[in-house]
Structure 1
């Protein structure tokens, strides 16, 4: 008989892979929903019981793939504190939208004793699905992006974290007088991710 604890054991590395997968679909969903790239540069994928859109734009993939690998590495090293996706107007550089994912990491060892937590993977994927569903539904309350916009990703890590050479330091890209909507959170039992979106209030 399989020990239930072993069956549902989530290791630091396994959790990092799950959270990276969430960011892959989450960032792609935001790019698609906010029409930052043409709709025909995305393909539909069924995941978590949802129809999600993932880019097949070669340039965007060339940015996303190494970026997500780096995110997974930092998650596995317990160094990633926050990931922020910033949407700005191309002409004015004004930040109009800011998707913030705060990451809490439990004190789990990389191997040996205390090397895993227990949580049903189906439950984790259901929680991820709930957040992705909210991202998809966000177009109902977010202001229309009337000007051409681009995006950037900010990473908050521990002080002694070594960043890749081609990455640059950045400010926080805050939005003055912004509205904030708190979305659902999910937990792998190793990593917890809280999501909110801030946007420029339309006075």
Structure 2
């Protein structure tokens, strides 16, 4: 029992094991995935491949009050730039695993006041 606790206490950081080529491939894939998801370069510049049988992106489902006012049709769109001073942000509840901390946030454009 003491051995199991000692092993659990020594796991304080992420380690990379494998050949240099494997670690290089993983980081290359990870960086390319981030560049693609953030739409840094045109999607035509990327080739879609499946690696590691793990998703590198996820969607957050929002459960709202049925009485809340919202457009009848919500659609996905390409990323849009929101001008400074026109944005509002809602921070979602964060949670942690033994390896990662997840902090979610939603930013949206504030309606213009008709003053």
Q: Which has the higher contact order (CA 8 A, sep 6+)?
A: 1
Q: TM-score range by the shorter chain?
A: 0.3 to 0.5
Structure whose alpha-carbon radius of gyration is higher: 2
Q: TM-score, normalised by structure 2?
A: 0.38
In terms of fraction of residues, the more helix-rich structure is 1
